[in-house]
A = this chain, B = another copy of it.
Amino acid sequence: MPLEPQLKQQLESLAHLIRRDSIDLTTQSGSGHPTTCMSAADIMSWVFFREIRLDQHNLDHPLADKYIFSKGHAAPLLYALMYRLGYLEADELKSFREIGSRLEGHPTLRLPGVVAATGSLGQGLSVAAGMAEVYQREGRDQKVYVLMGDGEINEGQVWEAAMLAGSRKLSNLIGIVDRNRIQQSNFCDQIVDAEPLDEKFRSFGWETVRINGHDFDAIAEAFAKARANTDKPFMIVADTEKGYGVSFLSGQLKRHGVALSAAEKEQAYAELPVADDLDIAALTQSRKDFGPVAELQPVRLSYSLSSADFDPAKKYAARAAYGDALKKLGGLSERIWVLDGDTSNSTYSDRFAGAYPDRHLECGIAEQNLVSAAVGVAATGKVAVSNSFARFFERAYDQIEMGAYSQANFKIVGSHVGISIGEDGASQMAMADCGFMRAIPDAVVLSPSDYVSAFKLTQALLEHEGFCYMRTFRGAASVLYSADESFPLGDYKVLRQSESDAAVVLATGYVVHEALKAADKLAESGLNVRVIDVYSLKPFNNDKLRAECESLGIKHVFTLEDHYATGGLGDLALDALNGSGIRVEKVAVQGWPESGSPEALLAKYGIDAAALYARVKQVLS
């Protein structure tokens, strides 16, 4: 049933006003993407003013519907909608793209209502799927709306998310593809032909409608269907024109990311009529009052590890201790959610999955979605932990950095690090993860060496608010610490020391045990070295290490790690000892790893006890 002519005309005026605002913002800043805002202005005006339920006092209200501009370059459209809804003042619009402004080039968490930073394309649907999954599990009457561009449809991550959402039948998830047929460099079909778009989504388990995205009757009908839909995620493919409404922009190439001149702006305004009687307040149905909410309290997990939890005489893989901790600590807070990538029986996160299936989400072999969906789960107030082989997360480093940038309370736990995994070979070994993770601002990077440290660091990871990465090793190793040992972030543990230490050995993870063997052998030979377990790669106490080394008057620090020589423990030590004159001897993996037994590999690549022993002897003699 068509809309009343009067209502339809009011909506068309509103959309034109939003188009004018989008042009105004970008012209004033001299950069940005006006035409991609104009194609989506009709459908998003409907969403923001008629469809979505927003809290009129708090865009971040946990009970409100959620929206994600996955095509983050349409930021001016979002800001214009927020302005006309009364969430932004006219003055603030002037700060668009200026330093210090909440109105950044692409949406960020500085702005209320933004659940995840966008701008790196193809991630929004994953974030939305994570949120929708939580709402559906908890029986909450909340919908998640995602605006996507037709260019980002090229991104495989969109199809990872589409497959998961279809498989999970997330009927509270509503996607919109702004099918304006023009990308940055060319017409979509000249780049990669993505048609038939609606058939693709149907084959991925979605309900779909395809409409004229500039016809409010069709828009209203599409969302009515979306509301009525109860068993599948719902995708609206909206055929639109980039730069719609303005003759010299509509359907034109070379207008992506190009602001209009002042003169062009005037001409455009003339082609975007806004009725004098436009009554925005009367049009607005989306604002509700959800009432006050309690603030989330930090997660505190009171669990005192005891020797009953493990056998100090046995050997454990760090991943196994992690699995135990995840199960035991996971029972202490309903907020803890775990996501997997079809490796839960290797990472031992299956111990959590078995105990708390209602807080476990299996995402399959799709690491980009596994990370971004966790960002979405975290956006609902959960502590989201994603698990896979550390190496497989390497294909999601941008998603991880975007998640950390989004201030998401998510954790990445990567197992099977280094050459010590053995026979599976280089494609399964994480060799460069420490360097990348250490570079991320505010990241916490942990590397346990035994059962107790893995257990305690899992607790620290779950309690820490924000992004945290932990790398766990595959092989079994003996227990080094007593159950009551504590592992504060940023500190380290001294495992061997004497008055006469001639050098310091810094080690992390699995090879800490090799360092201890080497130290004992060196001691037998009359040479004492201090052995330090660096379980916290970031933060790290540079001053403490430097003072400790200088107080010993040593000339050499040896770093032993199952990682490439760049980016890891060796570089951390160089930073800490910068300018001290103490030389850092990196003992790390050089060159491409291969298949073989862990022992044979550690020996061949020179990171076992024998290699360290020989290196220390050679350097110190």
Contact = CB atoms under 8 A, between A and B. Distances in A.
Contacts of A574: 571, 574-575, 578
A118 B428 CA distance: 10
A121 B427 CA distance: 9
Contacts of A423: 29, 31-32, 97, 105
A308 interface: no
A601 B99 contact: yes
A362 B156 contact: no
- The oligomer's copy count stands at 2
The interface size bin for chain A is: 35 or more
Contacts of A364: 151, 154, 183, 191-192
18 contacts: A99-B594, A99-B595, A119-B428, A120-B427, A121-B365, A154-B364, A156-B159, A159-B159, A183-B365, A185-B344, A185-B345, A185-B350, A192-B362, A192-B364, A391-B398, A401-B432, A574-B575, A578-B583
Contact of A345 (B72, B184, B581): B184
Contact of A163 (B151, B192, B340, B604): B192
A278 interface: no
B163 A72 contact: no
A373 to B, nearest CB: 11
Contact of A427 (B118, B157, B196): B118
Interface string A469-485: 00000000000000000
Identify which of A436, A442, A564 gathers the most chain B CB atoms within 10 Å of its CB: A436
Interface of A: 29, 31-32, 72, 97-101, 104-106, 108, 117-122, 151-152, 154-160, 163-164, 166-167, 183-186, 190-194, 196, 199-200, 202-205, 340, 342-346, 350, 362-366, 368-369, 391-392, 394-399, 401-402, 405, 422-428, 431-432, 435-436, 438-442, 555, 564, 566-567, 571, 574-575, 578-584, 590-592, 594-597, 600-601, 604
B106 A424 contact: yes
A342 to B, nearest CB: 5
A581 B581 CA distance: 4
Contacts of A203: 196, 199-200, 202-203
A581 to B, nearest CB: 4
A101 B594 CA distance: 9
